[in-house]
Structure 1
Amino acid sequence: MDLPDFSIAEMQSLSVEGSGRRRHPSVPEAARSEDFGSSYDWTTLWYDAVQRDGELLLICPKLLNFKAFISDGALRADGSAISVSRVRHHRRHDVVRLRTRAPVTRLETSNGRWRRDSGVSPDQSALFAGLNASVHISRNNRLDWIADWARFHIGEHGLEAMLVLDNGSDAYPPQAILDTLASTGLKRVVILKVPHPYGPVRQKKRGGGAKFLQPAMLNLARLRFLYRARAVLNADLDELVWTRAGSVFDAAVQSRLGFVTFDGRWRMPAIDAEAPYRHSDHRFQRATDKPCPTKYCLRPDSWLGRQSWDVHHPEVLLPLDWLARKDMGYWHCRGITTNWKSYDRLGFNKVGPEDPFTAETLDRLLPNR
């Protein structure tokens, strides 16, 4: 099979715009932020429709009051009725499985006189089969940050492939990310165009988060691209995974659970350093060194790897934080941010001492950066 080493992919999304329906707000009015109305996803029915193993998989925001749009009577595949096999309702997204006897090219839904259809995306798991891969959602992150993240993890862990979910960056086109990563030594890169709203960010005092997109995209990544990868690392582009125990991918593969998890610590640039910062500037501890929530690496064909993926752990009833490794973790780089959230991460004024292990590792893997 002739596989493209570096490519751009799109989703086959469908909106209920024009139907007269809007998604019910999932957050009480008292807990909504000022920008809730402009950042909430009111109309997306499914982010993508993926053909796989005799099924169509619809990866959706929370369906809430949109369930009628995915009922047996509403859906047609290439003009013929299609049955819903199962709907899995997760914490912040839903996945609909539809039975198919043959490959489908168009999927339609209707409500009264309103009708709309979308195309169908192929199973692209062959692109990442057998590779050590990472997955990220990104919007307008500096290109040198993305390249530095790749170089660090290639050198320290044997990273081979990246799936970047580009959430509507307007500072550069998706091709610019491919061009940047082409020189890092990666074997494969896919940029998936994700033009949908990220969702309202949780407020520190009142809550009110309604971020459907990120967990849904992690599971679209799992179901369409990554389920045949050797192992998958879920870490953000401002998080560098350190180790005293070899590759995090090898650790996940060799684990009885097919899974390793680890927490993070903030790392800071020098107080007198000038922005824009690079990862290599982040060698100082934070004055109050509290742990950051866990991230993880897993084998997709393991039991945990087949569960729904969420930001900090797979979505299972069992607590997993107690499994956090002490011989690996991540450095959360304070200055690697576009400051898109509601608090000022670049407004730090308390920096602790330099950490020798962090400094040595950065000098070894990101020299002169």
Structure 2
Amino acid sequence: MIALSSIALDPASGLRRESPRPPELRNAAYDAGFDWDTLFYDCYRAGRYVVLQGPPFLNLLPALQASAPLKPRWFGGPRYVVRNKRGEIWCRHDGDMLTLSGPVGTYQLTIQPDQASLFAGRRVIHTLSKDNTPRWIRDWLQFYQAEHGADAALVYDNGSRLYSAADLQTELRAAFPAMVIHVVPWPFRYGPQGGLAGAVNGVEAPWDSDFCQTGSMAHARLRFLRDAKSVLNVDIDELVLSDKGRSIFEATEATRHGFIKFPGQWISGASPDPIDHEPCRHADFTHRALAETRECPPKWCVVPARHDPFGTTWSVHNLFGSRHNRVIDSEFSYRHMTAISNSWKENRGIAGQFDPAGYREDRALVAAFARAGLASHN
């Protein structure tokens, strides 16, 4: 299994991360979900550098800059990245251990290896997942292997309780022996929601405190995926299709800028046949509700080597810093499967009624399921 060198702030330091959100937009749920004390998610090599990576440093930055060996110097000193929900320190350091000492506290960190070679030249699907049923993850892998030629997967497990990251990795590798598959344990607080989901007294909250998923993408990019041929960022409930039958990986690699951003559309949890949520599969759901008004924020595929890791940031729906980030492709779109969810964020699942007049079958999705060898469990 992949090992992390993560550390939490020592209470004896008297420090903790201050919230970026004003008190009037915080409540007990916010306080329970905010990551007050993770200093670094991991410490690892990335090429010539050692990267100490964590949530945004915020008020902790002065204490870090006053700690050895991280004190800024004019030449050869550490480089800090503090934007777009990122907190990174890039430095040069020999040896296998790094001792951090100063106002932030004293810590011994094992420097984890650079593992970009694991995915070099691979077409990788990447996601963050928690307690998703393994059969859903298998179907997701099978779809992308068959439909788009994915030959590797990097799954970050955000503290699942139903299985361990090691057990999930073993199961997926047994099911897909031709793919390179790694499951990274990522047991950090996801962070409070923004928008209506994080509203306090009816006032929508900003998206300013959900550090975990952006952190997992930065970690994936820097430690594992720098030399990947291309990387697709999608969730377990999201299936990408092309109007022209092309692979999203091949299409992205063929672009001059190495980046494609595409929209999504919801697939209803309603079905003409009775479906139970417990055994349901992606292929059980193939209809769009004509009255659907929810929007699906875009997702993306990227060629990592064509984008500067200091100037651009991988985020859930964006490649921040890229001048191509605002361009939405019209050939590709993803199907967002309403019922393929454990409803961690909102109530999702099987729709109780199916009126044929209110739904339209997504024939392209039906055909893709057939090509991938995925069928309804009925």
- Partner residue of 1:357 out of 349, 364, 367: 364
Answering whether residue 186 of structure 2 is matched by residue 194 of structure 1, we say yes
Report the alpha carbon displacement of residue 83 of structure 1 after superposing the two structures with TM: 6.8
What's 1:98 paired with? 91
Q: Which moved further from structure 2: 102-111 or 25-34?
A: 102-111
Deviation readout 1:82-139 (Å, 9 max, x if unpaired): 9742112222122211123x23423323328x42222111100000000101111111
- Seen in structure 2, the aligned counterparts of structure 1 residues 367 and 303 have a Cα distance that, compared at 3 Å, is same
In 2, Cα distance between equivalents of 1:270 and 1:120: 49
What's 1:70 paired with? 64
Secondary structure (helix, strand or coil) at the match of 1:154 reads helix
RMSD of the TM alignment (CA)? 2.2
Report the alpha carbon displacement of residue 32 of structure 1 after superposing the two structures with TM: 2.0
Secondary structure (helix, strand or coil) at the match of 1:344 reads coil
Please give the residue correspondences for 1:128-277 in structure 2 after superposition, counting only pairs within 5 Å.
128-182=119-173, 183-204=175-196, 205=199, 206-209=204-207, 210-245=209-244, 246-271=246-271, 272-276=274-278, 277=280
What's 2:29 paired with? 35
Q: Could you state the TM-score of these two structures normalised by the residue count of structure 2?
A: 0.87
Q: Which moved further from structure 2: 251-260 or 114-123?
A: 114-123
In 1, Cα distance between equivalents of 2:109 and 2:364: 51
Query: Could you tell me whether the CA contact under 8 Å between 2:33 and 2:192 is conserved in 1?
Result: yes
The sequence identity of aligned pairs, in percent, is: 28
In 2, Cα distance between equivalents of 1:150 and 1:317: 28
- Seen in structure 2, the aligned counterparts of structure 1 residues 346 and 30 have a Cα distance that, compared at 3 Å, is farther
Query: Could you tell me whether the CA contact under 8 Å between 1:51 and 1:120 is conserved in 2?
Result: yes
In 2, Cα distance between equivalents of 1:126 and 1:333: 33
In 2, Cα distance between equivalents of 1:116 and 1:207: 35
In 1, Cα distance between equivalents of 2:120 and 2:324: 29
What's 2:375 paired with? 367
What's 1:280 paired with? 283
In 2, Cα distance between equivalents of 1:238 and 1:33: 30
Answering whether residue 16 of structure 2 is matched by residue 9 of structure 1, we say no
Corresponding letter in the other structure for 2:360: P
Deviation readout 1:120-170 (Å, 9 max, x if unpaired): 111000000001011111111100011000000000000011111111111
In 1, Cα distance between equivalents of 2:294 and 2:308: 27
Secondary structure (helix, strand or coil) at the match of 2:162 reads coil
Query: Could you tell me whether the CA contact under 8 Å between 1:305 and 1:314 is conserved in 2?
Result: no
In 1, Cα distance between equivalents of 2:177 and 2:329: 28
Matched positions, count: 353
Deviation readout 1:303-353 (Å, 9 max, x if unpaired): 3677211111211164623x2222211000001111111x21227568622
What's 2:331 paired with? 327
In 2, Cα distance between equivalents of 1:69 and 1:75: 10
Structure 2 stretches lacking a partner, 5+ long: none
In 1, Cα distance between equivalents of 2:177 and 2:349: 31
Structure 1 stretches lacking a partner, 5+ long: 1-7
Corresponding letter in the other structure for 1:236: D
Q: Which moved further from structure 2: 285-294 or 165-174?
A: 285-294
In 2, Cα distance between equivalents of 1:320 and 1:128: 25
Secondary structure (helix, strand or coil) at the match of 2:313 reads coil
What's 1:316 paired with? 321
What's 1:5 paired with? none
What's 1:293 paired with? 297
Corresponding letter in the other structure for 1:294: P
In 1, Cα distance between equivalents of 2:332 and 2:161: 35
